């Protein structure tokens, strides 16, 4: 018989904080929180962090990212989280001290098994919400050690580094400037990154 009552006490606190931040609780917040908590255990880190040792790449935004943020203490605003928009409910957690990295995603069977853990749920959405809180990690999530294909130190950059684009005159921070034929440029002016806007 599968226990559908036992909840993880630390998870309850994380989900309460996530729901307060997001104004509701949904299955993707639970997944994000569970992924962050699992990563902390696998990497041997106490989370949520107060410092900046853990760096997280989330592969989608919204509720999921909020769950990850509350569980880990990684946030865009603290420059400890980065959105790589693949449209996937997955995240990579990196220990910045030793470079160990773990990518965590939901198990392919997580949704289909949710009804076993929440048999009385009034809808599939509610089954996901309830089951994701009680399913064992090994049934809900898949974690895989990975090697980053980018330079994390360059991505994080250094505090206080500023440059001015020689074309548009706008300030560029975090060492995101590029040089094209000796000219210091922001990425849109250099064509290195397509702009998301046009001047009106």
pLDDT digits (tens, 9 = 90+) for 2-36: 333 344 569 999 999 999 998 999 999 999 999 99
Same domain, 115 and 168: no
Predicted local distance difference test score (pLDDT) of residue 197: 83
The answer to whether residue 182 scores a pLDDT higher than 70 is yes
* Cα–Cα distance for residue pair 170/164, rounded to 1 Å: 6
Same domain, 139 and 166: no
Predicted local distance difference test score (pLDDT) of residue 60: 98
Residue 55 lies in a domain: yes
Same domain, 145 and 165: no
Q: Give 69: exposed, middle or buried? Use CB within 10 Å, 0-12, 13-18, 19+.
A: buried
Predicted local distance difference test score (pLDDT) of residue 192: 85
Cα end-to-end distance, the chain, whole Å: 63
Tally of CB atoms within 10 A around 4: 17
pLDDT mean over 182-190: 95
194 Cα distance to chain centroid? 24
* Cα–Cα distance for residue pair 16/14, rounded to 1 Å: 5
Rounded (10°) CA dihedral 39, 90, 177, 170? -110
Residue pair 39/93 in contact (Cβ under 8 Å)? The answer is yes
Q: pLDDT tens-digit profile of 23-78? A: 999 999 999 999 999 999 999 999 999 999 999 999 999 999 999 999 999 999 99
What pTM, to 2 d.p., does this model score? 0.89
Predicted local distance difference test score (pLDDT) of residue 8: 54
Residue 198 lies in a domain: no
Residue pair 170/199 in contact (Cβ under 8 Å)? The answer is no
Structural domain of 35: 9-153
Number of domains making up the chain: 2
Beta-bridge partner residues of 171: 164
CB hemisphere CA count around 200 (13 angstroms): 0
Residue 3 lies in a domain: no
Task: Using a pLDDT cut of 70, give the percent of the chain over it.
Answer: 96
Distances (CA, A) of 136 to 84, 91, 120, 129, 192: 27, 18, 19, 14, 44
Closest C-alpha to 16, from 3, 6, 30, 5: 30
- Residue 1 confidence class, pLDDT cut points 50, 70, 90: very low
* Cα–Cα distance for residue pair 109/187, rounded to 1 Å: 41
CATH assignment of the domain containing 182: 3.30.60
Q: pLDDT tens-digit profile of 81-120? A: 999 999 999 999 999 999 999 999 999 999 999 999 999 9
pLDDT mean over 125-141: 96
Q: If you compute the radius of gyration of the chain from its CA atoms, what whole number of angstroms results?
A: 20
Residue 84 lies in a domain: yes
Predicted local distance difference test score (pLDDT) of residue 59: 98
Same domain, 109 and 165: no
């Amino acid at each position: 018989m599968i226990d559908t009552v036992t909840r993880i006490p630390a998870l309850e606190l994380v989900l309460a904080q996530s729901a307060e931040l997001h104004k509701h609780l949904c299955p993707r917040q639970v997944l994000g929180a569970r992924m962050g908590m699992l990563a902390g255990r696998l990497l041997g880190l106490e989370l949520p962090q107060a410092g900046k040792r853990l760096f997280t790449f989330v592969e989608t935004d919204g509720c999921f990212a909020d769950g990850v943020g509350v569980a880990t203490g990684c946030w865009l605003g603290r420059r400890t989280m980065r959105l790589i928009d693949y449209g996937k409910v997955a995240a990579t957690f990196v220990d910045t001290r030793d470079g160990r990295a773990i990518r965590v995603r939901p198990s392919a069977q997580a949704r289909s098994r949710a009804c076993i853990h929440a048999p009385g749920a009034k809808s599939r959405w509610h089954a996901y919400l309830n089951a994701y809180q009680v399913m064992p990690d090994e049934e809900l999530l898949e974690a895989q050690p990975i090697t980053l294909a980018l330079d994390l130190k360059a991505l994080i950059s250094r505090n206080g580094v500023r440059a001015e684009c020689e074309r548009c005159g706008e300030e560029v921070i975090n060492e995101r400037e590029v040089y094209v034929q000796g000219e210091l440029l922001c990425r849109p002016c250099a064509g290195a990154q397509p702009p998301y806007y046009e001047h009106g």
